[in-house]
Amino acid sequence: MRRILPRLIAAITAAAALCLATVPAWADSSETAPAFTVEEQSYIASHPVVKIGYVQDRIPVSFTDGNGEFAGISRYIFDRVASLCGLEFEYLPLPRGDVTYEYLLEGGYDLVSSVEYNKENQQARGILISDPYFSSRKVVVAREGLNFRFDAALTIAISTGSQTIRKVLGESYPNFELVDYPSITDCFDAVNSGKADLLMQNQYVVEHWISKPIYEKLSVIPVLGLDDELCFSAVVTFGDYTGGASQEEGELLISILNKAISQLTEDEISLFIISAISENPYRYNFSDFLYRYRMAFRVFAASAVIILLLLFLLLRLYMRYSENRADAKVKSRFLSTMSHEFRTPLNGLIGLNYLMFQKTDDRESLKKYLRQSNVTANYLLSLVNDMLDMSNLQTENLKLDIKPLDLGLLLDTVDSISENALRDKNIEYVKDFELICRRINGDGVRIQQVLLNLLDNAKKFTQEGGKVSLKLRQTEMPDGKIMTSATIADNGKGMSEEFQRHLFDAFERELEIVSKGNQGTGLGLPISRRLARLMGGDITFESRKGAGSTFTFTFTAEPAPETDESGSGDEPAPERGTPPRILVAEDNELNAEIIIELLNESGYETELAENGRKALEKFESSEEGHFGLILMDILMPELSGCEAARAIRALPRADAKTVRIFACTANSSDEDREKALSSGMDDFITKPVDLDVLLKKIRG
């Protein structure tokens, strides 16, 4: 019904308008015929065709439609005026922007339409204008949240050629700075991007363009006492101009038009407005579709990047396994496992993207699909991390990041994550901690990784209503080190004796567990055991089919001094006050758009540099203190991120030494981290970027 009703109204009103336009006024005895003088009747007889120039870009008031024809409210009015006059109008499009009088004379125009009515101004310039044939309100368009006042010093965008509005604004609002733009859409874009504070335009034109999705953050402000009155202007010879109609002929034409305009009724004008608006709604294009559902497309694009990375890692691991193990069964198992692990979430992503395209008008469904896509993309990311860890452990490239940490705070984090997951499955969670040394020197990230992996496995093997426990004890070793022992036990289904023999082999999983839909690569336990052994400990287990499993994770560490100020890294850092302006150095357009929008939505001002050299140039040309932070990609053209960081640090200005520089890259190896930090960067953030982690580092 919502689609049929506008079309029905349009059909009815268009038919009414057509009937009105095709019958001369004086042929209808029910209407009062315009009282044309003898001179006016003579003019009509000798000038049967009048050429009118019309504005092309003011939908739905005056524009060129898809067939190249003059259309809009003005077209309905002009056709009606022509029928009342007994004249035939020939419609010629006016070029966009300022139109010179010489152009009108050379083009043979008799009239120019859409001239803003200002009798005093026009008479002072010697221009003949008609009475207004159409009147509506002017409105102001501004960005949401703008503190709008007419006495403020604001920048206003106006379309080129709007001379009358320029004069009105200049006289009434002297604090406004007027900036010309070629078209209405350019004015909207200027306000939307922040290049201008506001624009002023006809209410019907604004109502049409404000429907464009990209302008969703613009708001409309009514302006009292400022109407948009449109009239005709006669093109006549005056002053130094030659070649047009005489002043007398122009006056006759304007007089004829005024008499016809006076016959127009409010009901007729209302019908014309309804017809033009219903026939010319804003039509969404592909770019609008992309913008409206940009988050869905970004999820899709990010998923595609992850897929490509996974395929690369798959090939890399396959090559390594092929070199180190010639056994055909191992290769077959590896490919079968990875194929399953990739295809399952990829199938989900492809299906979710299809569903999003089918449900573009259903916001609730889109939100659900986006949440599911995010979970799937995070699972794919965990596959990447597991494969990278396995690859680094096999080549002995993985190094522990030993620093002081508070084991109690680390266990609080583990509890928070695991307790929620276990509660969702209705599993009882019991914990029992006895610490003799909370502060130790260790790799907190890796300790947490092993504990979470073991707890997650316990959850997978335990049915609803079951129980999982975490018991932690510490003992002091003869050499003064602290041995920490974490025991994770469950009363789940346990493991078969056959599977236990291969438990720590890569890509091995219990078939029954896999068949029940539990995801996993079979890399978690092998990685965890190798990490435990790197930390001077091990992982052991006991399990019996149908009676549950118990895993014990041990590691050794030196005690950390209680007076150490570095802490565990988990305490919130103090706020830095005013949010820093951030320079984003990123050569990938999609990555740049995503990180900039994330930062902007979090309240930060950003600027983009497309490569390392532009990052250096932007910083060097900026005022001192302009940038508080630089997010620097590592692999970029012109200058790499490391080269750009060194060059910035070497600049002879104070903030070159103090500006924070974060590496923001998909290169996640320890070697890459060391290169970034040695080049003068302050921190290292891996892609895909975790916004919460990034914001915490920015505020730190």
Tens digit of each residue's pLDDT (9 = 90 or more) over 95-107: 876 777 778 888 8
Q: Tell me how far apart the alpha carbons of residues 606 and 597 are, in angstroms, rounded to a whole number.
A: 9
Give yes or no: residues 465 and 554 share one domain: yes
Q: For residue 471, what is the domain's CATH number?
A: 3.30.565.10
pLDDT, tens digit, 9 for 90 and up, residues 591-607: 788 788 888 888 889 99
Q: For residue 156, what is the domain's CATH number?
A: 3.40.190.10
Q: Tell me how far apart the alpha carbons of residues 88 and 239 are, in angstroms, rounded to a whole number.
A: 29
Band (436; pLDDT cuts 50, 70, 90): very high
Q: Is residue 473 part of a domain?
A: yes
Rounded to 5 degrees, φ, ψ at 592 are -65, -45
Residues 6+ apart with CB under 8 A from 617: 609
How far is C-alpha 92 from the chain's CA centre?
40
Give yes or no: residues 215 and 249 share one domain: no
Residue type, 684: F
Residue 239 exposed, middle or buried by CB count within 10 Å (0-12, 13-18, 19+): exposed
Q: What is the pLDDT of residue 598?
A: 82
Give yes or no: residues 412 and 546 share one domain: yes
Q: Is the pLDDT of residue 9 over 50?
A: no
Residue type, 479: D
Give yes or no: residues 299 and 385 share one domain: yes
Place of tokens 């993309």: 377
Residues 6+ apart with CB under 8 A from 76: 17, 21, 271, 272, 275, 276
pLDDT, tens digit, 9 for 90 and up, residues 20-49: 443 333 334 345 567 899 999 999 999 889
Most confident of 397-401, 512-516, 520-524: 397-401
Query: What distances in angstroms separate CA 114 from CA 55, 56, 130, 136, 208, one per listed residue?
Result: 7, 10, 11, 12, 18
Give yes or no: residues 460 and 485 share one domain: yes
By the 8 A CB rule, do 197 and 154 touch? yes
By the 8 A CB rule, do 602 and 695 touch? yes
Give yes or no: residues 328 and 252 share one domain: no
Query: What distances in angstroms separate CA 414 from CA 338, 350, 477, one per listed residue?
Result: 28, 33, 25
By C-alpha distance, which of 645, 664, 658 is closest to 606? 664
Residue 551 exposed, middle or buried by CB count within 10 Å (0-12, 13-18, 19+): buried
Q: Which two tokens stand for residue 7?
A: 């079309």
Give yes or no: residues 551 and 640 share one domain: no
Q: Is residue 270 part of a domain?
A: yes
Residues 6+ apart with CB under 8 A from 92: 51, 52, 53, 54, 107, 109
Query: What distances in angstroms separate CA 311 from CA 263, 315, 330, 350, 507, one per listed residue?
Result: 75, 6, 19, 16, 17
Place of tokens 């438990």: 503
Last residue of a domain, one of 354, 376, 394: 394
Q: Of 169 and 129, which is predicted with more confidence? A: 129
Give yes or no: residues 390 and 410 share one domain: no
Place of tokens 């078939």: 511
Q: Is the pLDDT of residue 616 over 90?
A: yes
Residue type, 221: I
Mean pLDDT of the chain: 78
> How many helices and strands in the chain, by DSSP H and E?
25, 24
Q: What is the pLDDT of residue 138?
A: 84
Give yes or no: residues 590 and 546 share one domain: no
The helix/strand/coil state of 198 is strand
Q: Tell me how far apart the alpha carbons of residues 111 and 92 are, in angstroms, rounded to a whole number.
A: 10
Q: Is residue 569 part of a domain?
A: no
**Core vs surface per residue 315-333: b (16+ CB within 10 A) or e:** eebeeebeeeeeeeebeeb
Residues 6+ apart with CB under 8 A from 434: 472, 473, 474
Q: What is the pLDDT of residue 134?
A: 92
By the 8 A CB rule, do 476 and 482 touch? yes
By the 8 A CB rule, do 146 and 196 touch? no
Q: Which two tokens stand for residue 269?
A: 């004008």
Q: Is residue 667 part of a domain?
A: yes
Q: For residue 633, what is the domain's CATH number?
A: 3.40.50.2300
Last residue of a domain, one of 500, 526, 559: 559
Q: Tell me how far apart the alpha carbons of residues 364 and 61 are, in angstroms, rounded to a whole number.
A: 36
Query: What distances in angstroms separate CA 370 from CA 123, 241, 293, 377, one per listed residue?
Result: 62, 65, 11, 10
Band (574; pLDDT cuts 50, 70, 90): very low
Residue type, 264: L
How far is C-alpha 288 from the chain's CA centre?
12
Q: What is the pLDDT of residue 481?
A: 93
Proportion of the chain in helix, strand, coil states, percent, rounded to 5: 45, 20, 35
Band (344; pLDDT cuts 50, 70, 90): low
Q: What is the pLDDT of residue 219?
A: 87
Q: What is the pLDDT of residue 25?
A: 38
Band (514; pLDDT cuts 50, 70, 90): very low
Q: Of 153 and 335, which is predicted with more confidence? A: 153
Give yes or no: residues 596 and 678 share one domain: yes
Total structural domains within the chain: 5
pLDDT, tens digit, 9 for 90 and up, residues 668-679: 666 778 888 889
**Domain of residue 463, residue span:** 403-559
Query: What distances in angstroms separate CA 198 from CA 103, 218, 227, one per listed residue?
Result: 31, 9, 17
pTM (global) more than 0.85: no
Q: Which two tokens stand for residue 333?
A: 């198992």
Q: Is residue 565 part of a domain?
A: no
Q: Is residue 576 part of a domain?
A: no
Give yes or no: residues 586 and 658 share one domain: yes
Q: Is residue 566 part of a domain?
A: no
Q: Is the pLDDT of residue 14 over 60?
A: no
E strands, 578-655, where? 582-585, 606-609, 629-632
Taking residue 614's Cβ as centre, other Cβ atoms within 10 Å add up to: 19
By the 8 A CB rule, do 194 and 143 touch? yes
Last residue of a domain, one of 496, 525, 559: 559
Q: What is the mean pLDDT of residues 161-184?
A: 75
Q: Is the pLDDT of residue 356 over 90?
A: no
Band (662; pLDDT cuts 50, 70, 90): very high
pLDDT, tens digit, 9 for 90 and up, residues 238-278: 656 666 678 888 889 999 999 999 999 999 999 999 999 98
Q: Is residue 332 part of a domain?
A: yes
Taking residue 528's Cβ as centre, other Cβ atoms within 10 Å add up to: 23
Rounded to 10 degrees, the C-alpha dihedral 282/286/289/290 comes to: -140
By the 8 A CB rule, do 405 and 437 touch? no
Give yes or no: residues 489 and 361 share one domain: no
pLDDT, tens digit, 9 for 90 and up, residues 522-573: 677 888 888 899 999 999 988 888 888 999 999 999 998 875 444 444 444 4
